[in-house]
Structure 1
Amino acid sequence: MSTGDGVDEVAEFAALLTELKERTDRSYGSLARRLGMNTSTLHRYCAGEAVPQDFAPVERLAEFSGATPEERLELHRRWLRAVAVRQAARPRTATTTEPEAAVAEAVLPEAAVARTAEPEAPPAEAGRADAAEAAGADSGGEVGSGGGPARRWYRRRRTALLAAVTCALLATLGTLSALPADRSPSASSPWPSSSADTSGSAPARTTAPAAPRPSPTASPNRSSSPSPTPGGDSPTPRTPEPSTSGGTAPGDATVPLTWTADSQAWALGCGHDYVVAQPPARVPPPPAAQDAGPWAAAQGAVHGRETVVEITVQGRSTTAVVLTALRVRVTGRTDPAPGNVYAMDQGCGGSISPRHFAVDLDRDRPIARPVAGNDTGTPIPAVRMPYRVSSTDPEVLLVTARTQGCDCSWYLELDWSSEGRTGTVRVDDHGRPFRTRSIAGLPRYMYDTSARRWTPYQ
């Protein structure tokens, strides 16, 4: 094989790795942490600068990106070729084992041809071959292509070698075909597709978990769905019911995901406005961000201008759950009541802005629009639906809802799909809608730490 062909094999393997990496919508650093490897190592693999000696990290990348069995089989084939090319570039030593040579010959037929061009028999076999050749010459017969003892020995050795290689490849293909597939390849994917018809698959089995118990340590700032509990298999499949507010309905046990929502998150962890119907002299100093919930509850505070909701979504099992859509439902709009605005920040700021979903509550039909973030100058791609979660791969969705002219009540609906089932979960504030009100025209105060009092915002 020429050097150019070897480079092509490594480049094709690297291109498929890059395709899988881009499918995850993650940076090299974030993806490397999920796969348990070094960031620079993952980058070298995708750039074709190195080829992993073990298939395990490549398999973890394929599983995380949702590759199908056909895609994983193609990836394994390209990896074998790339490894063989890199090994062929090294000088062959006397310590090379027979199984290694068998794999190289199975992957690259040219290597097998080069190796078998001049077969060499063991000394004993060579001696018998010389004797047979002499006997054939004395009797006027031919020894060579007619099949003398040396050629018969080589054919037996070649047959055993090919049988061993065939068994190894069949075992590898059987292992790959048993791997789970959570996502179908996109229409623009360069992977080969399968023509198998899956429309007649059997219905998925469901379980009937015991009734969920509320956690005694639940934070007052968070609303959540019930945690998964063990249960026995149901003898017959049943259709799941969509969950309702806060995940308290009995039908929630059939939903394949759980969620928690923190409605007291602050922008960049330090900036937020609360509207309180009390004068500054009766309002205590601003709390730390982690104590915002009790502080706001004690003051009867309402989110001013914007509400930031941090939603953590996780599957109940390792089976993937696809989040297909995030919708906004406004339950009421009223004119804002009088009050004062109290700013929690002290001129905070940062070089990292997370990606989030932006919601304009002043629109007649608000939508959750994905917005990209920025990490010290490096763009963070916006969240794109559909998005996949499981018990080992949770995700955090950040929703920022703003208003300039109303006192709005609202909640979110999260659509999901898994194993042929679909449903919707309602994400709200402990069974109540979230609430955001305008601060237009209201007095705004900030806390002066030196004077230990609230002063008009400058």
Structure 2
Amino acid sequence: MSEAQDDDVQEFAALLRRLKERTDRSYGQLARRLNMNTSTLHRYCAGDAVPLGFAPVERFAALCGATPEERMELHRLWILAVAARQRPRAAAGGATPSGAQEAAEAAASDTTSEAAMGTVQDDPASPGPAPRPWYRRRRLLVSAAVATALLATLGSLSAFPDDRAKGSDSVEAVDPPRTTEPDSPRPKSAGSPSPSPGTPSPSADASRKSSAKPTGDAGRPSKEAARPRPSTGVPLTWSADSHVWQAGCGHDYVIDKPPQQVPPPPNPQDAAVWAATMGAVHGKQTLVRITVQGKSSTAVVLEALRVRVVGRSAPMAGTNYAMDQGCGGALTPRYFDVDLDRDRPIARPADGNDSGVTIPAMRLPYRVSAEDPEVLLIDARTAACDCSWYLELDWSSQGRTGTVRVDDHGRPFRTTGNKGLKNYGYDTSARAWVPWEE
């Protein structure tokens, strides 16, 4: 392969790598969503191979959030890369016009099966008829590939959803989940012929057919019954745990009871039951861990996450009980930061940290399915109010959109400021609550 030809392949691979670097997913995670082997995807991004069909490249671009302009540029570079891989084969093997046409049609194929996701290799083909002049073979191969691949791709570009997130205040608060179905079929045009007076009406004709005796085909399933029905309902499930402690051990609860009536701190996994028994309210901070998963292998796009404050009052009176004595760890997961003291709180993506290594923040939109669940961590804080709040999660899938309300088992989450309250920590040696300063 000449240097110019290798440049075409490397330009194509470089754009693939730039798109991949935008995501926080590994090659293995991306390959699983694209239905291909991890090594195959890595070879594409390294410039060691070029996919025969553009369909896997287009799916990769959509998964990485490429813009329409970037998708068109990716398609242009792919055509040049395919042509660059085919040139040595045509020169060594003496491809005939029909052989070049077959190669171009293979390059435009959009099959999604793993067997068809082959690569254009550099090995020469077996000897054939005498080769045509190089300039005629090259023109035939490139023009055929451009024509067939472009026709196949232009029809597929509009099939991928626009992943732009909605505005933070575009949806009103709702209690039940809601969905929006695709547009219903349009009515017939005014030019449609109407039945004449002497012609039986369609309804009358249908009534006669339904009352007729069954024929020999009555036992066979009808085409109408076999036709798949459009999806309905919410395509995802979620669960929420609001009793998550910082680094697994640090948390404050405000309880309107004296220390003598408060039992020792529970294990983190028993915190929900312990807090409910004590009438405890999260002090200063509430960490909510939300697990979101699709109901099928069909991708569901999480479009936006919003905060709804439904109640504000002065901080709760009582005593602050600290569940830890300064324990902590080197791992801080990425999360969504929420300041409940603001008039219009916003869930802002925040980076995590693992022993000095930054964990990139999760940014919506984000895709989930039954095979690829996702965990969202929300860190909500307040110093000046007793706040009741819940979350709204927008989703889209297969042309439908909707919003689910995420709350504490049907009730809003609750967080109260604890500044100025008496503070107690548990002394394990004395087995008692003692005054504690942070």
Same fold, TM-score > 0.5, yes or no = yes
2:9 corresponds to 1:2: no
How far apart, CA to CA, are the structure 2 residues paired with 1:422 and 1:326?
14
**For the residues of structure 1 that align with 2:341 and 2:162, how far apart are their CA atoms?**
38
With over 3 angstroms needed to count, the CA separation of the structure-2 counterparts of 1:352 and 1:54, relative to structure 1, is farther
Indicate the SS of the match to 2:266. Answer: coil
Aligned pairs for 1:114-133 within 5 A: none
Distance 1:264 1:416 in 2: 25
Give the counterpart letter for 2:285 in structure 1: E
Contact 1:324 1:417 in 2 (8 A): yes
Q: Give the equivalent residue in structure 1 for 2:240.
A: 261
How far is the alpha carbon of 1:438 from its aligned partner? 0.9
2:309 to 324, 330, 349: 330
Aligned-partner Cα distance in 2 for 1:302–1:82:
61
Deviations 1:180-221 (A, max 9, x none): 9443488xxxxxxxxxxxxxx97479xxxxxxxxxxxxxxxx
Matched-pair contact (CA < 8 Å) for 2:12–2:47: no
- C-alpha distance in 1, partners of 2:381/2:153? 51
CA distance in 2, matches of 1:26, 1:264: 28
Q: Does residue 1:388 correspond to 2:381, yes or no? A: no
- Distance across 2 between alignment mates of 1:257 and 1:381: 25
The alpha-carbon deviation at position 26 of structure 1 amounts to: 3.7
CA contact (8 A) 1:182 1:319 kept: no
- Partner in structure 2 of residue 414 of structure 1: 393
After superposition, where does 1:427-442 map in structure 2 within 5 Å? 427-442=406-421
Alpha carbons 1:336, 1:438 under 8 Å: kept: yes
- 2:348 corresponding residue in structure 1: 369
2:269 alignment counterpart? 290
Q: Distance in 1 between matches of 2:48 and 2:125?
A: 26
Q: Mark the structure with the bigger radius of gyration.
A: 1
CA contact (8 A) 2:275 2:281 kept: yes
Q: Give the secondary structure class of the aligned counterpart of 1:429.
A: coil
Query: Is the alpha carbon distance of 1:116 and 1:89 closer, same or farther for their aligned partners in structure 2, counting shifts above 3 Å?
Result: closer
Q: Is the 8 A contact 1:204 1:420 kept in 2?
A: no
User: Do the aligned partners of 2:92 and 2:127 also contact (CA within 8 Å) in 1?
Assistant: no
Tell me the secondary structure at the aligned position of residue 247 of structure 2: coil
CA RMSD after TM alignment:
5.2
Match of 2:13? 14
Matched residue SS, 1:254? coil
User: For 1:233 and 1:292, how far apart are their aligned partners in 2?
Assistant: 51
Amino acid in the other structure paired with 1:183:
P
Give the 3-state SS of the residue equivalent to 2:260 in structure 1: helix
CA change 1:236–1:341 in 2 (3 A) is same
| One of 250, 254, 270 as aligned partner of 1:275 | 254
- CA shift digits 1:146-202 (9 cap, x unpaired): xxxxxxxx9xxxx9xx99xx89x979997997899443488xxxxxxxxxxxxxx97
Residue equivalent to 1:244: none
Query: 5+ unaligned residues in a row in structure 2: which ranges?
Result: 94-98, 108-120, 165-180, 186-224
State the alpha-carbon separation in 2 of the partners of residues 65 and 406 from structure 1.
41
C-alpha contact (below 8 Å) 1:9/1:81 kept by paired residues = yes
1:306 offset after TM fit, Å?
0.7
Q: What does residue 423 of structure 1 align with?
A: 402
Map 1:103-252 → 2, pairs under 5 A: 103=103, 181-184=159-162, 203=183
Distance in 2 separating the partners of 1:106 and 1:374: 46
Conservation of the 8 A alpha-carbon contact between 2:44 and 2:51: no
Contact between 2:105 and 2:149, CA under 8 Å: does it hold in 1?
Answer: no
Cα deviation code 1:16-49 (max 9, x no counterpart): 3124314434466865787799999977754x36
TM (norm. structure 1) is 0.60
1:373 is matched by which residue type in structure 2? Answer: G
What secondary structure, in the 3-state scheme, does the structure 1 residue paired with 2:19 have? helix
Q: Which amino acid aligns with 1:287?
A: P
Over 3 Å counting, the alpha-carbon distance change for 1:318 and 1:175 in structure 2 is farther
Q: How many residues align?
A: 354
Name structure 1 gaps, 5 residues minimum. 122-153, 187-200, 206-231, 241-252
Distance 1:177 1:25, change over 3 A: farther
Question: Which residue matches 1:221?
Answer: none
